Chain A
């Protein structure tokens, strides 16, 4: 029984210098040797590829399984960068019994063959999807697989779990007990690490997913100026939400090391014009989904526009009031209770106040680089939250709890750690017990 071999272009189908087609499967010799002879493993060799009237001189590489990316035999064809040529090559491969791969199938095979762990695969996925420098570096920092602190956590928990289990099943007959205070003392460094990692992962999550920010304010409040300053140099993609150009403008960019989605809104005021009203509804939807609303108020204004304030009231937790033209105006006056207040000058370029404020709010005051390597995806963050909670329950146990309580909590902790790295639960827990104690009659 073998897996069906698959093929896919590894480079975009655009006219270019080189296009790469990869083929993966168990025993590729059987499929390819009738056509060409495969080169020695891991050596780039020039071969003439001839089929159906085509003659292409290509660089061919062969990575035999299991030492390849997918864990199966892997062959790479580097051909001239012509999309039509790639199509024809794939057609020919199909005639040899090598079908076109489904999206993500190479990575999936690699995962199933244990060539990479779940964490690595997730980092890879994020690396391919990264749109800004910080996102790219964030994903790369995770590509090493299981972080050291996770391995250390398992090593720290294992002996205690073994003792707790032995105490339950053999405690009375073999005189094995778990000293709970001693264990809690021993796990204290881990508890601190978990909490720190939880903080870091929250921040890393923002770096990975990007921060969605809406700019609002009365006309001429300086929205466009600030928008252009933030999106300015590093504008990656500009998408104009179809049909809403006049209402919301979305830009994906990186500013001060933070990946941002900026939404410049207009039409926040109530209006009788039915077309504009439609726009107002769309703006409301944007305000709903963003992570932060920057409310821009010119420093010279006596206070914020009451109508806008009313519209922002439901989002009080995520509003940051910015006094703009701080270089021109006087001391801020009035304002609202619910919003954080800062003063910036978009004109002179001094946005350090905003940067500091965003760092505080989203990165816990840390620099973006300090968060690299932390768990970042939503799945990882949720499991980390569960881990922190599970460990905390252990600390909240009353004195002298029944022995099954710490044992069960530790097993839960162990299972969560394994789920995080996508490993089997298997007999790992019991192996620990019987490696550590001489038990049984």
Chain B
């Protein structure tokens, strides 16, 4: 029983941590022990959609939420004052502390071993059957039954700065080329992707007086369902806008950027555009917002989020100096673009296992995502499923209506991706049912099955769930009549009651503001009193949301019903797509390439029309009846 996780980034940390906690002896192999859990880009975790995934993986026993809480120095809930379903927690984490905390957490996880070294090749007993272990560049060999490859941007990575091409996995670190060669020789489909990062500035060289301050939430709300308090002192972030001079510098030097100078073949993320891209694609938007983020309490480094660039260093200096308040700013580390090998996720099963290679799972940026949270979510699922495979158990597949992580995995392995994939709530058709604050209760049964959370943590979730449903029942049955206290409150809110109604029905009325709702709830039995993880304000918002919008959510589910039914129709493994009559070559090729496991997946493949899905359905039914 042994698992090797290749890579110590956010995917690798999750994969190794969860597998070890599930009882599988695990080795995390990394190029540099000091870089475990490194945040290569901006020191920020979470956001709308991304924050949802952090809470989901926390509910399943993942590490990121707890690490962010332990090292966060600025917390904000995005959409906090608005929707309940799309509230997204976000934090600035201390880059240095985060790294140390990640390493520390792994060092204290039973069954988990750390090892510095570069993976050179995987070794199988027979072709690609019977995985024996991982050969290291230092000549040693780690025997194992399964590997999770979370190589991030390191496989054939090249850093680009203007017309300079520097082979690197991350600025200042060597790329991994041996493993990349072996994987390519095995015939895996790969493509070049590109991403970028911003310059970092010496704190003392910035005139903060001229920047717009952006304080965090007070008190900060943690990511993890199991964090009781935020230990780090909290700091302020700042905002600055690009000037006309910035635009001039960029326009005049556009040809010198790697991107527009033609030095990049990889496809970059639309969701994380470089500053060059922003000016080129949105010529009418004169000013772009730049976030000035503290990197660490232990260093004087400042990160400029939103200024990702592939310009040569001398242009970067001019760009930075053009920002108001940055006239004398010193660049500590220049921004850069990086190009790397990524493996087509269509080659993976829904459990993230690579087809045709025994014992190999993939996760993270190496299969076409962007972002720490996306990487972590995939790492967690690959770790869980590799561990379960070793233990001879069925894989765990998150459904699209259960978790954003489930949406992401399904999107990647079904549709593939042409650019680095970023999570957006728009990707989840069941968005209204995927509130991140309910991830713990939504995933409770699965989490039990995973087995990484202790009984105490599971008990905490259960207690909250029980209390919430009891409270809901009380609101459904509490009667508002003109003669009672609820009725008096309703009247005070400006409502005339002709007939009685339940408290839940009263909550449907717009006149019942949060303040009135709080007073009404104060009269409901079981409302008062704190409990671990119990947030009265959130519970109140949730009840109001349920009262007012659950009808729309239910309709959304009904409209999606036909589609979801398809998700339950499995396409037999031995279904011979190439022999099906009636399908065009294009449709067959798509089906063969994407290898859908369910009819629902087939329906989401671009270019597969509903007509084709219906035909496929008929054929599956016919085969089944024969």
Interface of A with B (CB < 8 Å)?
1-4, 26, 71-72, 102, 105, 108-109, 111-114, 118, 121, 165, 168-174, 386, 390, 393, 398-399, 401-405, 407-409, 411-412, 415-416, 419, 422-427, 429-430, 433-434, 438-441
Contacts and interface: CB of A to CB of B under 8 A. Distances in A.
A113 B610 contact: no
A111 B281 CA distance: 36
Given A112-B584, A408-B552, A169 B426 contact: yes
B510 interface: yes
Contacts of A415: 429, 559
B424 A430 contact: yes
A409 B83 CA distance: 14
Contacts of B281: 438
B265 to A, nearest CB: 21
A404 B426 CA distance: 9
Interface of B: 42, 47-49, 78-79, 82-86, 269-273, 278, 281-282, 285, 288-289, 291, 305-306, 308, 415, 422, 424-427, 429, 431-432, 510, 545, 548-549, 552, 555-556, 559, 578, 581-589, 604, 606-612, 615
A336 to B, nearest CB: 37
B559 to A, nearest CB: 6
Contacts of A169: 48-49, 86, 424-426
Contacts of A423: 609
24 contacts: A2-B585, A109-B582, A109-B584, A112-B582, A112-B587, A165-B426, A169-B48, A174-B289, A393-B555, A402-B82, A402-B549, A403-B82, A404-B85, A404-B425, A404-B432, A407-B426, A408-B432, A412-B559, A430-B427, A434-B270, A438-B288, A440-B271, A441-B272, A441-B305
Contacts of A401: 549
Contacts of B587: 112
Contacts of A165: 424-426
Given A105-B582, A393-B552, A402-B83, A422 B610 contact: yes
A404 B431 contact: yes
B267 to A, nearest CB: 14
Given A1-B588, A108-B615, A112-B583, A441 B291 contact: yes
Contact of A439 (B83, B271, B291, B549): B271
Given A172-B79, A409-B552, 6 more contacts: A168-B48, A172-B78, A393-B555, A402-B82, A402-B545, A441-B291
Given A430-B424, A438-B278, A1 B611 contact: no
A209 B74 CA distance: 65
B589 A422 contact: no
Contact of B426 (A2, A108, A168): A168
3 closest A-B pairs by CB: A402-B83, A438-B282, A404-B83
A407 to B, nearest CB: 7
B427 A108 contact: no
Contacts of A405: 83, 432, 549, 552
Contacts of B47: 173
Given A168-B425, A399-B510, A424-B606, A26 B585 contact: yes
B289 A1 contact: no
Contact of A424 (B49, B78, B588, B607): B607
B264 to A, nearest CB: 18
Nearest to B277: A438
Nearest to B611: A111
Contacts, number: 153
Nearest to A386: B559
A441 B308 contact: yes
B584 A3 contact: yes
Contacts of A408: 431-432, 552, 556
A168 B615 contact: no
A360 B608 CA distance: 42
Contacts of B608: 424
Given A404-B425, A405-B83, A441 B42 contact: yes
A171 B88 CA distance: 12
Contacts of A168: 48, 79, 83, 86, 425-426
A256 to B, nearest CB: 37
Given A171-B79, A393-B555, A422-B611, A411 B270 contact: no
Nearest to B307: A441
A114 B590 CA distance: 14
B31 to A, nearest CB: 27
Given A402-B82, A404-B86, A411-B429, A4 B42 contact: no
A174 to B, nearest CB: 7
Contacts of B291: 173, 441
A137 to B, nearest CB: 26
B575 to A, nearest CB: 16
A115 to B, nearest CB: 10
A52 B626 CA distance: 38
Contacts of A403: 79, 82-83, 86
A121 B609 CA distance: 13
A93 B124 CA distance: 51
Nearest to B555: A393
A35 B425 CA distance: 59
A170 B42 CA distance: 17
A362 to B, nearest CB: 29
B424 A440 contact: no
Nearest to A112: B584
B611 to A, nearest CB: 5
A287 B86 CA distance: 53
Contacts of B85: 402, 404
A154 to B, nearest CB: 17
Which of A174, A402, A427, A429 has the most CB atoms of chain B within a 10 A radius of its CB?
A: A402
A278 B561 CA distance: 43
B86 A402 contact: yes
A315 to B, nearest CB: 31
Contacts of A416: 559
Contacts of A109: 582, 584
A306 to B, nearest CB: 43
A404 B434 CA distance: 11
Contacts of B282: 438
A48 to B, nearest CB: 32
B157 to A, nearest CB: 21
A168 B85 CA distance: 10
Nearest to B44: A441
A168 B584 CA distance: 40
Contacts of B581: 3-4, 102
Nearest to B592: A1
B426 A3 contact: no
Given A168-B83, A402-B86, A408-B552, A111 B426 contact: no
A325 to B, nearest CB: 52
B606 A426 contact: yes
A85 B305 CA distance: 77
A69 to B, nearest CB: 13
A171 B84 CA distance: 15
Contacts of A441: 42, 272, 291, 305-306, 308
B610 A419 contact: yes
B559 A438 contact: no
Nearest to B284: A438
A424 B49 CA distance: 23
A305 B611 CA distance: 53
Contacts of B609: 111-112, 114, 118, 422-424
Given A403-B83, A403-B86, A3 B559 contact: no
A380 B244 CA distance: 53
A172 B83 CA distance: 12
A4 B272 CA distance: 46
B537 to A, nearest CB: 15
Contacts of B586: 113
B303 to A, nearest CB: 10
B586 to A, nearest CB: 7
Residue picked from A169, A419, A438, A439, most chain B C-beta under 10 Å: A169
Given A169-B49, A403-B79, A422-B611, A3 B545 contact: no
